[in-house]
Amino acid sequence: MGPTGSGKSTFINIATEHDTGVGHSLESYTSEIGIFKLFYPELSDGDIVFVDTPGFDDTHKSDIDILKMISEWLSETYKKNILLSGILYFHRITDNRMAGTPLKNLRMFEELCGKNAFQNVILTTTMWDEVNEEVGKLREEELIHKYWKSMMDRKSKTMRFENDRQSAFNVLAPLLESANERHAIRLQKEMVDMKYQLRETSAGQAMFSKIEDLVKQKQDTLRRIRDEMKRPSDDRETMDGLRAKFRQLNVELDMMGDDMRALKLSVSDRLLKSVVSRLGVRVWR
């Protein structure tokens, strides 16, 4: 898992020596879940099966479409007693800040997995050949001690993928060593064991939190626009930038609104779920 362009398909290509196709533009290449098998006796006695998923910033599908696709696959395999040996989460070390798309993907990933599955997660950094080693190391340290801290505290591991097959095998090694210690992830338990609808799951609820954040950003941007209009200033660049941001936020809110309607999750539902989750009870309707 990971954002579009973070190196998921490249990793599978190199590990399996099978051309899955790699995107070289801002458009996402992986728009469906792909299954790829590797048999390599020196690495494992059995088949290694890779499940390639699109990121939550796909250029062809909305976030809810991606969430539905992943949840359906995870639910069906869980019902057949198929558990994941582990999850590789990919992050570009070339990203100079952890915001926007990378942060959105990370937060959704955490909600999908749940804390009990973090021990089976390998946080994999990519594109080391495109960044100065010293700069890359500083970013890696920030990820480990800040953004990934909650996962690292629960025994997630971090590895570097350096675009060669041996490096890919090194990334896989910790998962292969504990291949028999498999755990269901939160989304599987919620949808299969607890019979939750997708909109009731932690990942589904997280989508509403994103809307709340966008609304706050929109309100703040509108306030700044009004403040700028009151000032006797010819700073058109600042005003144009604020108006462009306001328009973009409107577009994102419209898209998120479609997602929420698809989830059939209303504001009242969200507030009710928030309350009962704190009380540790389930509401049946």
DSSP string across 166-231: HHHHHHHHHHHHTTT-----HHHIIIIIS---GGGSHHHHHHHHHHHHHHHHHHHHHHHHHHHHHS
Shared domain check, 123 and 180: yes
CATH of the domain at 171: 3.40.50.300
Domain boundary among 153, 168, 191: 191
Shared domain check, 240 and 134: no
Range of the domain at 137: 8-191
| Assigned domain for 1 exists | no
Q: What is the model's pLDDT at position 128?
A: 97
Shared domain check, 227 and 156: no
Helices (H) and strands (E) in the chain, counts: 10, 5
Q: Is the pLDDT of residue 229 over 60?
A: yes
| Assigned domain for 230 exists | yes
| Assigned domain for 77 exists | yes
Domain boundary among 191, 220, 243: 191
Q: What is the model's pLDDT at position 213?
A: 77
Domain boundary among 191, 208, 226: 191
Q: What is the model's pLDDT at position 280?
A: 47
Backbone angles phi, psi at 231, to 5 degrees: -90, 140
Write the pLDDT tens digit of every residue in 51-86. 999 888 766 777 788 888 999 999 999 999 999 999
More confident site: 64 or 26:
64
Model-wide pTM > 0.85? no
| Assigned domain for 255 exists | yes
| Distance between CA atoms of residues 135 and 96, nearest Å | 9
| Assigned domain for 63 exists | yes
Shared domain check, 217 and 159: no
Shared domain check, 208 and 163: no
| Assigned domain for 2 exists | no
| Assigned domain for 3 exists | no
Residue 71 near residue 191, CB atoms below 8 Å: yes
Percent of residues, the chain, with pLDDT higher than 90: 43
Shared domain check, 212 and 144: no
Shared domain check, 230 and 105: no
Shared domain check, 233 and 143: no
Shared domain check, 165 and 33: yes
Q: In b/e form, how buried is each residue of 127-166, taking b as 16+ CB within 10 angstroms?
A: bbeebeeeebeebbeebbeebbeebbeeebbbbebbeeee
Q: CA–CA distance from 70 to each of 64, 168, 264 (Å)?
A: 10, 24, 18
**β-strand pairing of 48-52 with 34-38:** antiparallel
More confident site: 267 or 36:
36
Shared domain check, 204 and 229: yes
pLDDT band at 262 (very low <50, low <70, confident <90, very high): low
Torsion of CA 270, 271, 276, 277, to 10 degrees: 60
Q: Is the pLDDT of residue 180 over 60?
A: yes
Shared domain check, 169 and 137: yes
Write the pLDDT tens digit of every residue in 116-160. 899 999 999 999 999 999 999 999 999 999 999 999 999 999 999
Percent of residues, the chain, with pLDDT higher than 70: 82
| Assigned domain for 110 exists | yes
Backbone angles phi, psi at 146, to 5 degrees: -125, -70
How many alpha carbons fall within 13 Å on the CB side of residue 211? 20
Q: What is the model's pLDDT at position 99?
A: 66
Q: Is the pLDDT of residue 267 over 80?
A: no
- Structural domains of the chain, count: 2
Q: What angle do CA 278, 283, 285 make, to 5 degrees?
A: 160
Residue 86 near residue 51, CB atoms below 8 Å: no
| Distance between CA atoms of residues 55 and 28, nearest Å | 8
Q: What angle do CA 171, 85, 90 make, to 5 degrees?
A: 40
Q: In the predicted model, what is the mean pLDDT of residues 165-179?
A: 91
Shared domain check, 240 and 168: no
More confident site: 223 or 24:
223
